[in-house]
Amino acid sequence: MKSVPPRLAEWVLMRFLREDLAEEVLGDLDEKFYATVESKTLLRAKLDYWFQVINYLRPFAFKNATLFHPISNGMYKNYLKIGYRNLLRNKGYSSINIIGLAVGMAVAMLIGLWVQDELSFGEYHKNHARVAQVMEREALNGNISIGQALPIPLGAELLSKYGEDFESVILAFWRQSLIISYDDINLTAEGNFMGSDVIDMFTLRMLKGGSNALTEPGSIIISESLAKIIFKESDPIGQLMKIDNELNVMVTGVYEDAPKNSDFYGLSWIAPWKLWETSQEWVRHSANTHDWSNNSFQIYVSIAEYVNMTAVSERIKQAKFNNVNERAQALKPELFLHPMDDWHLRSAWENGVQKGGLIQFVVLFGIIGVLVLILGCINFMNLSTAQSERRSKEVGIRKAIGSQRGQLMSQFLTESFLVVMLSFVLAMIIISLVMPFFNGLVEKDLFVPFSDVSFWCVSLGFILATALLAGSYPALYLSSFRPIAVLKGTFKAAGSALLFRKVLVVFQFTTSVALIIGTIIVQQQIEHTKDRPMGYEVDGTIMTWSNSAGFKGKFDLLRNELKSTGAIVEMSESSSPITMVFSRISSLSWEGKHPDYTPNFGRITVTPEYGQTVGWEITKGRDFSRNFASDTAALIINQKAANEMGMANPIGEMIKWGNDERARHFQIIGVINNMLVESPFDEISPMIFAMSKSDMNCMTLKLHPNKSASASLMIIQDVFNKHIPSVPFDYRFTDQAHGRKFASVEKIGKLSGIFAALAIIISCLGIFGMASFVAEQRTKEIGIRKVLGSSVFDIWKMLASGFVLLVGVSFLIAIPIAFFTLSAWLEGFEYKKEIHWSVFAMAGLGALLITMMTVSYHAIHSALGTPLNSLRSE
Amino acid sequence: MGKRLFPSGRTYLIVEQIELRAVYMYYKLEGNMKETRLGDFEEVILLLVGILGEEAYAFKMAEEFEAQTGRLASIGSVHSTMDRLSTKGFLVSEMGQPSTNRGGRRKRIYTITASGQLALKNSKDFKMSLWKQYPALSFDQVIFSK
């Protein structure tokens, strides 16, 4: 058998070996190989061949060993100078480049700051990784619902049975606005009653007082800002205040206000849980009787060091189930921990399973930011390659006198670096200008951390990455020209380069069109939901909280006096404002109720005038009335409830409310049209309304429609202040409260609108530059065509059709992308507008129109030019 | 009137570039001229080139190196050293005749130059002068004590 040197090794060698060395080296290696075959074995010879090949991996033997030749500083100075002159020579292209890139960078940086802020939510609290809220899953009619309202004894249960897992467990009520009074100052401030360990658990920064400031039941700690308002410069410690004109407390601590990206933001005071427990009769009852059935409280825990959150979450699963009665066990309550790190970003649930939340928008906008930046980079790449033919001679001559490819690449990269630097400066200016506006939009206090070293490191990395991203293609492409072809003048931009340019334009427009479609659909969804039938009159009513002790028994007095002034038409009191449901009940039963069906009805207790105040529409039966004494045992239900109960004619039906001996019987006296009380994006829940005098939290006033609202409000304020001087009069318009529910969706709508606009502007800048370039290149051709009789329209068609085609292709690609993304987004809403084909048509036509206008400027400009001028130009 | 080959801006650029290249080359040459000392391996290679004469090409050199010193040297390392010595001006090379056991390929034969000879001589003289200063007695002692 004839032995030959290993072909693979030879191939590898030829990959890197300088061509002029090939003959001698291959010869030497062959000689060595045959000599080894003679003296030793074939295998040894082959192995030795490989060894020799590897030993040729030496600098002197490499191809293009000078590809990245060290270039002296002088060359870089020269590159910068040439780059600068090139920028000045092509002012139009340069400004398109720089502006496009700067806008892209500004958007990417703004989004970056926003994303960073969102991701750092809660980091103000040092132990954030070990803090969690206890939550539960319950099975309700085949659906699993999530709740954070838990019974009081669970706190003690967790500590006693699972004590080694927890560092501390605290009970808390819900954040509420109560009246804080000191001397003659009365003001409403948001706060909460929480276990005394709250200071350590959330590492609140105590400015005055220590971490044991809440151990005494009669104490309170207040935020720095509240202390400033109430006590001005004097020392708040030891001062006596009143909560809600009822509870006497002494200030024992002042804590620093939590920043906006903390769950404690805006929490002005914290009073001890013990105070709440002892002062409220129903809470005291619940605590003293170890009542596992009153689920009205929140429980926060911090887990012990070195235990795993998921493991603890798994261990406490049955802690509630083991203690509740059979009826509650039927709901299969399952506890779990919701870590603090997830509170803000991951708190959306679907059928008991976490399904993202805000994090989806963080990711979405992060992607959009990167996309917009890429759009800016694409302009740079496109215009540079488009200009390549102009610069081909320069490249040719540089190569002819000995420039290495590496040197040319560094030249073009230097130029792109120059452009990126200028863009960065411009981007910083843009950011400084729009920052207040952006902050207003996203409701944050973002700022550019100029004094932060890591910010500059990131910026530098950002600049380098962008310069490489934007400059890589031109650098590789331009440096690959063959000098002879270029200098001979036979050079034409290769088909692949043209194709690449087209692909980039298609990418730009796909992104833009998809963003436009997205914006339209989000807007439509908002409009559609805003037009949703309310079932009551949302305009002309105001709401005010009436849960303070001062309101007790004053309702009739207020109503009579206000009605006599003529400022209002009607007013009523209820357990929750018409825009919210505070209470849900499941302990309802009626004749013919399916045994497996667990009702989950919203409940609002009202005074008899409620219906007239909010203007609900009674479809069957009658409204509440003061004239019927029996109406205290009457119910009004909404249509949805009637449907759920399966009653065709519910009037007169009896309903049992409660499961034990305290159960009461109610008669349905009326059915109303569904009212939009909760989220306008969700399905309407079944509701019951009952008359009651206790548990009243809110007053609704219907202003006189024919009088000026501001005058009426003045009168109302006077009357309130006269009768309830201890409570500052504070109100909200119902339509504004309703409007707030759209805030987060509207924010998305606005942001996506802005991004879509920017994307289309950047893309248009790009094709504007391309169009002007194409028109300029074909000046002579256009001149000749005109001489031969082409019309302006023909020439316009010729120049514009290429771009229109590209936009058409982008449109076709964008449709499915947008459709699937937005369908998924709309999935999250119960009440939604289906995507209609006209949206796509609108976006497509819009993009087409904008493209035509952009391209036409140059097309018509060159088509209208005198052919003589263009033909004479040289 | 002849067509101008370049727009006016370009000519300036090219002149500048040529100047810069010239300066660069000068530094490169000057840098190379300074380096005339011989390393140990380089010295052996130079001597072997002289010994092998007409047969001084990379493969043979590597074989000879192994035979003379008992140390292994890859063809690549020998080749790279001879390449370096060529740029220093101690060796010149030209392509020799093709032969069949090389797959019909030619070999590159190296010859020592006058400055190569001089470098060898300098190196030897330097060592001789060191030896002359070396005390004879202690040399014997080292030998015997072994």
The pLDDT tens digits of the residues spanning A219-259 come to 999 999 999 989 988 899 999 998 888 889 999 999 999 98
Separation between Cα atoms, residue A616 and residue A537, nearest integer Å: 7
Res B66 pLDDT > 60:
yes
Give the largest Cα separation in chain A, rounded: 123
Identify which of B75, B83, B108 has the shortest CB distance to residue A32.
B75
Band (pLDDT 50/70/90 cuts) for residue A491 is: low
Do A742 and A526 form a contact (C-beta atoms < 8 A)?
yes
- The residues on A that touch B, with CB distances below 8 Å, are 23-32, 34-35, 51-52, 55-58, 60-61, 72, 74-75, 78, 82, 85, 89, 393-394, 397-398, 401-403
Do A412 and A385 form a contact (C-beta atoms < 8 A)?
no
Tens of pLDDT along A635-659?
999 999 998 888 888 898 888 888 7
Res B107 pLDDT > 80:
yes
Res A217 pLDDT > 80:
yes
Band (pLDDT 50/70/90 cuts) for residue A412 is: confident
Lookup result for tokens 């009665």: A325
Q: Do B102 and A30 touch (CB under 8 A)?
A: yes
Q: Do B76 and A403 touch (CB under 8 A)?
A: no
Looking at residue A874, what is its pLDDT?
Answer: 54
Q: Do B13 and A75 touch (CB under 8 A)?
A: no
Looking at residue A72, what is its pLDDT?
Answer: 61
Q: Do B105 and A23 touch (CB under 8 A)?
A: yes
Res B5 pLDDT > 70:
no
**DSSP 8-state class, residue B41:** H
For A83, the closest chain B residue by CA position comes to B13
Res A325 pLDDT > 70:
yes
Cα A493 from chain centre: 44
Tens of pLDDT along A70-110?
556 677 788 888 888 888 888 888 888 888 889 988 988 88
Which residues in chain B are closer than 8 Å to A26, comparing Cβ atoms?
Answer: 102-103, 105
Q: Do A27 and B105 touch (CB under 8 A)?
A: yes
For A487, the closest chain B residue by CA position comes to B5
Do A367 and A466 form a contact (C-beta atoms < 8 A)?
no
Looking at residue A701, what is its pLDDT?
Answer: 92
For A69, the closest chain B residue by CA position comes to B24
Identify which of B9, B74, B77 has the shortest CB distance to residue A85.
B9
Res A176 pLDDT > 80:
yes
For B10, the closest chain A residue by CA position comes to A394
The mean of the pLDDT values for chain A is 86
Q: How far is B81 from chain A (nearest CA, A)?
A: 9
**β-bridge pairing A185-194 and A176-182:** antiparallel
Which residues in chain B are closer than 8 Å to A489, comparing Cβ atoms?
Answer: none
Q: Give me the sign of the Cα torsion angle A795, A797, A803, A806.
A: negative
Q: Do B76 and A402 touch (CB under 8 A)?
A: no
Q: Could you tell me if B55 lies within 8 Å of chain A, comparing CB atoms?
A: no
Which residues in chain B are closer than 8 Å to A394, comparing Cβ atoms?
Answer: 10, 13
Band (pLDDT 50/70/90 cuts) for residue B138 is: low
Residue A296 or A694, more confident: A296
Q: Do A403 and B17 touch (CB under 8 A)?
A: yes
Tens of pLDDT along A282-317?
889 888 988 888 888 999 999 998 889 999 999 998
- Indicate which of A55, A77, A85, A410 best probes the interface with B, i.e. most B CBs within 10 Å of its own CB: A55
Which residues in chain A are closer than 8 Å to B88, comparing Cβ atoms?
Answer: none
Do A133 and A299 form a contact (C-beta atoms < 8 A)?
yes
Q: Do A27 and B13 touch (CB under 8 A)?
A: no
Tens of pLDDT along B12-53?
444 444 444 544 444 444 444 445 678 888 899 999 999 988
Looking at residue B139, what is its pLDDT?
Answer: 53
Task: List the single range of A83-87, A276-280, A621-625 with lowest mean pLDDT.
Answer: A83-87
- Rounded to 5°, the CA angle A35-A41-A45 comes to 55
Looking at residue A416, what is its pLDDT?
Answer: 85
Tens of pLDDT along A809-859?
999 999 999 999 888 888 878 888 888 888 888 888 888 888 888 888 877
Q: Provide, rounded to the nearest whole percent, the portion of chain A with pLDDT above 90.
A: 18
Looking at residue A70, what is its pLDDT?
Answer: 56
- Tokens at A4, concatenated: 């030959």
Task: List the single range of A64-68, A496-500, B11-15 with lowest mean pLDDT.
Answer: B11-15
Q: Do A24 and B24 touch (CB under 8 A)?
A: no
Q: Could you tell me if B108 lies within 8 Å of chain A, comparing CB atoms?
A: yes
